[in-house]
Amino acid sequence: MLESTGTEIESSGRLGAILGVSVPETHRQMYAEAKQFADEVLIPAADLHDREESFPESQVNALAEKGFLGILAPEQYGGMGLDNLALTLALEEINRGCASTGVTLSVHNSLLSSPLLHFGTEEQKERFFPGLASGKSLGAYAITEPDHGSDALSIETTCRKEGDEWILNGTKAWITNGSRAGTIITFATMDPALRSKGINAFVVDPSMPGFSVGKKELKLGIRGSDTVQLVFDEMRVPAANLLGEEGQGFKIAMHTLDGGRVGIATQAVGIAQACLDAAVEFAEGHEMFGRRLADNQLVSHKIADMATRIEASRLLTLRAAMLKDAGAPHSRQASMAKLSASEIANDAARMALEIHGGAGIGRQSPIERLFRDAKICEIYEGTSQIQRLVIARHVRPDRS
């Protein structure tokens, strides 16, 4: 946890965003390690994984060896036992390097480890955390269905109880890490008429009979990540795998997505920063009409706008992570962070592309990939329209 001492004030660099807060050494090391890994390993391979739509396996394995798949997992189960601030600092750098690797880690940590930590029994933690923390078992979160994305309350996957088991039937769609996962949190309804009170959350092991992986989803961006459909056909899940109480599943889903949205906000900040870095490098290295592009006022204003909005989104994101760490309500702040960061990621990609001109639409610069990756941030883990809906529901007149 952070100490709000204000004794160690940073004024520059990424850590400078957390003005007035002492950043622990563990977090600094993790940030530095993620930054080095992004520069040396992720950036050189990101275009290839995008072009080939291939999973960045060696990168994810290397990050697992560094402990990055166990950032939130308790130390007693082999994890690092760190917080969402540490996760956010690391994930921004990883996403700056490769958004496909970034979402793989984000889903694993925010959408699997986090709800297991909050809602799991001791027995479930003992059973699932060692594999998740070491990276032997990748995590996935399966709520979306072919006909139900934004309207998560209307899921049709069913669960019925028979003795000590639940029987699951249904299809999930657009599931990140789905075909590679060793542990999946999924959601099913006991009775659609019960609406939110009828939904259960389960931690399932995909090696159980009745589970299969469906079609691979081909995507506009973040093309290296594993995205598939999952099919539950009379899958028998032990009652001991119910996460939380019967009927608590929808609240678990929403609480988990609040944290997941901080993860995607972080991803969007990382993508936006990559766009800014590329734009500055290009503008400083190219001349037009007899002077450096960077000295052209139109270009320098674009760079100033990008830098300012990225910093604002980074602050919103770090604040949401710190509220989550403090156990405080953070739905509104997480949605604001995701909305703001995914919008600047798209605007930064557009502005960086305009600064690059023709070079920006070619494969020789990373801008074309970043442009496509940024769009996905406005869609998954709740579209921008859903974020606005969540924010508006939380806005109350300030009568102070």
Tell me if 102 contacts ligand CAA by CB under 6 A: no
The backbone region for 13, taken as left when phi is positive above 0, alpha when psi lies in -120 to 50, beta otherwise, is: left
Tell me if 255 contacts ligand CAA by CB under 6 A: yes
Distances, alpha carbon 289 to alpha carbons 277, 292, 304, 352, in Å: 23, 8, 21, 19
Q: How far apart are CA 256 and CA 84, in angstroms?
A: 13
CB of 153 to ligand CAA, least distance (A): 4
Tell me if 202 contacts ligand CAA by CB under 6 A: no
Handedness of CA 6, 10, 16, 22 (dihedral sign): negative
Cβ atoms within 10 A of the Cβ of 150, count?
Answer: 13
Stretch touching ligand CAA by CB under 6 A, among 55-63, 266-274, 367-375, 381-389 = 381-389
CB of 347 to ligand CAA, least distance (A): 22
Measured torsion, CA atoms of residues 346, 111, 331, 342, in degrees rounded to the nearest 10: 0
Tell me if 258 contacts ligand CAA by CB under 6 A: yes
The binder of ligand CAA chosen from 56, 79, 270, 382 (CB under 6 A): 382
Q: How far apart are CA 292 and CA 128, in angstroms?
A: 55
CB of 68 to ligand CAA, least distance (A): 18
Tell me if 152 contacts ligand CAA by CB under 6 A: yes
Q: Which is nearer to ligand CAA, 229 or 273 (CB)?
A: 229
Stretch touching ligand CAA by CB under 6 A, among 45-53, 208-216, 345-353, 382-390 = 382-390
Cβ atoms within 10 A of the Cβ of 365, count?
Answer: 19
* 377 phi, psi to nearest 5 deg: -65, -25
CB of 106 to ligand CAA, least distance (A): 8
Q: How far apart are CA 381 and CA 251, in angstroms?
A: 15
User: How does strand 242-243 pair with strand 227-238?
Assistant: unpaired
Q: Which is nearer to ligand CAA, 333 or 365 (CB)?
A: 333
On whether the CB atoms of residues 113 and 64 are closer than 8 A, the answer is no
Enter the tokens of residue 388. Answer: 């606005």
Tell me if 391 contacts ligand CAA by CB under 6 A: no
The binder of ligand CAA chosen from 37, 55, 141, 282 (CB under 6 A): 141
CB of 163 to ligand CAA, least distance (A): 29
Segment holding 244, helix H or strand E: none
User: How does strand 181-189 pair with strand 138-142?
Assistant: parallel
CB of 331 to ligand CAA, least distance (A): 4
The binder of ligand CAA chosen from 100, 104, 157, 176 (CB under 6 A): 176
Q: How many residues bind ligand CAA (CB under 6 A)?
A: 25
On whether the CB atoms of residues 262 and 339 are closer than 8 A, the answer is no
Binding flags for ligand CAA, 331-370, as an x/- string (CB under 6 A): x---------------------------------------
Tell me if 381 contacts ligand CAA by CB under 6 A: yes
The binder of ligand CAA chosen from 22, 196, 296, 300 (CB under 6 A): 196
Kindly identify the residues of this chain, within the stretch 288-307, that bind ligand CAA according to CB under 6 A: none
Binding flags for ligand CAA, 222-251, as an x/- string (CB under 6 A): ----------------------------xx
381 catalytic per annotation = yes
Quote the strand ranges of 157-226, DSSP E. 158-162, 165-176, 181-189, 199-204, 211-216
Of 10, 256, 221, 232, nearest in space to 95 by CA: 221
CA neighbours closer than 13 Å in the CB half-sphere of residue 15: 18
Q: Is 1 helix (H, G, I), strand (E, B) or coil?
A: coil
CB of 13 to ligand CAA, least distance (A): 29
Q: Which residues are catalytic?
A: 381
Which stretches of the chain bind ligand CAA, using CB under 6 A? 103, 107, 141, 143-144, 150-153, 175-176, 196, 250-251, 254-255, 257-258, 331, 380-382, 386, 389-390
